[in-house]
Amino acid sequence: MKKPVVALVGRPNVGKSTIFNRLVGKKVSIIEDTPGVTRDRIYGTATFYDYTYHVIDTGGVDLSEDTFNNEIKVQVELAIDEADKILFVVDGSEGLTSNDYVVRDMLIKTDKPVIVVINKMDNKHFKEHMYDFYELGFDTYFNVSGEQNDGIYDLQTEIIKDFQTIIADEYEEGIV
């Protein structure tokens, strides 16, 4: 049976790799404050209750003319294509940036469920930007701190919520 796939996407340094490591339960992705550390897709497996699913960590989408940015964007687009559900990770301590809007525009073109994950809720500047993210226009938002493991349980509960439907749809289509 094909397991559901969840992709983490967002701009650089919003905490995608930290959340990825929390979901898979071990340090797989490298975590640094330097943009561009994650360039290729990184795969892991997460288990929550009776559900096992694949998780894809991606590099940060960035508008600048840096050498690897086009390659990273291609990797992100491949992960989005593979995914059944997408976690759009944003930085709650900094608010929205032009790169967040670029990611939003990529995700609006898909018909896949998107969960906006507002990370770094433990930062003192979080409350200043908390409501800005609703202008992205998605239906589902979760506040988390990947570093502190706050909100990750609730996020996982939301991630698996529709998995029975995803698995049933694939079974009917003959994919399984």
* The amino acid at 16: K
Residues ≥6 apart with Cβ < 8 Å to 171? 1
pLDDT for residue 174? 56
pLDDT for residue 36? 46
Nearest to 7 by CA among 83, 107, 74: 83
Where the chain has pLDDT below 70, the residues are: 1, 28-40, 65-68, 165-176
- Residues of the chain with pLDDT > 70: what percent? 82
pLDDT for residue 155? 97
pLDDT for residue 11? 93
pLDDT for residue 66? 65
pLDDT for residue 167? 54
